[in-house]
Amino acid sequence: MGLHKGQTNSGSFKKGQIPWNKGLTKETDRRIRKYGIAGSKTKKELFKKGLLISPMKNKTHSKKVREKISEKTKKAVNNPEIKKKLIKSLIGNKRAKGHKVSKKNKIRQRKLRLTQKFPRKDTKIEVIMQNKLKTKKILFETHKPIICCQPDIFIQPNLCIFCDGDWWHGNPLIYNQKNLHSIQLRNKMYDLRNNKFLKKRGYNVIRLWESDINKNLNKCYEKVNKFLIKLRLN
C-alpha cells in the first residue's frame, strides 16, 4: 500500500502535525538527553567493531568538489555574522565559564592534547624554515610534544623554534600593542607562559616572525645556527 500525502513510513505523522521533540534540547528534556547518549554510544561501539564504516573511508573528493567546498568556505568566512561566531568560538564558550574541571581531568586533557598535532597542516612559514634547515642538512622534528606545548621545529638536544604569524601573535613592529585583538592578547600570554616554562626546564627558545622569514630567511637561519654552535661548544 502506498503512502498518502503528508504521511511518513510510520503512518503516524500527518502534515501540519507538530513533532513531539520540537523546541526540546538535551539541557531541557531528559528523553532527548537519554536518546542522544544512547545513540552516540552505539555509534562509537559500531565504529570500533568495524560494523559501521564512514562513507568517505579510503576515498577523496574530486578536484571540482574540493574547489566548491573551498569557495563556499571562503564565502562563509567573509560573512560578518559567521566571522563573529568563529571569533566567539576561538575566545571560548560562554556556557563553559564557571564550570570546574577536576585536576585528574585537566592532566588527562593535557596528555591527550599533546598527542595531537596543532595545526594539522604545517603553515607556509614553517615549511619555508623546514626547507632551509634541510638544505643545511640539519636534523629536526616537527611539533614535538614537550609537556606544555609543541614547538614548530625541535632540534636535539633542547632547541625549540616557533614560527609566529605576525597577526596571530601581535608582532610589535607591525601592530600597536595597546590596541590588540583579544585573540592576539591570548596568544601573547600563552607565548610568554610557554617561553618561561621551557627555559626553566633547560630548553632554549627561538621565536621567528612571519615577516622576517618571508623577507630575510638567511638572517633567521643565522639566528638558529648561532644557538646550535653554542650548544655544540657546551
Instruction: Give domain limits for the chain.
Output: 21-52, 124-233
Beta carbons within 8 Å of 133's beta carbon, 6+ residues apart: 140, 153, 155, 221, 224
CATH class of the domain defined by 124-233: alpha beta
Residue linked to cell 643545511: 136
Percent of the chain with pLDDT over 70: 81
CA atoms within 13 A on the CB side of 203: 25
Distance CA 129, CA 56 (A): 34
DSSP state, residue 92: -
pLDDT higher at 136 or 4:
136
Q: Is the pTM of this model over 0.75?
A: no
Residue linked to cell 607556509: 124
Is the predicted pLDDT of residue 87 greater than 60, yes or no? yes
Task: Give residue-wise pLDDT tens across range 31-72.
Answer: 777 766 566 667 777 777 777 777 777 888 888 998 898 888
| pLDDT range class, residue 75, cuts 50, 70, 90 | confident
Is the predicted pLDDT of residue 98 greater than 60, yes or no? no
Which helix (H) or strand (E) covers residue 93, if one does? none
Q: Give the per-residue pLDDT at 6.
A: 45
Greatest mean pLDDT range, 80-89, 116-125, 162-171: 162-171
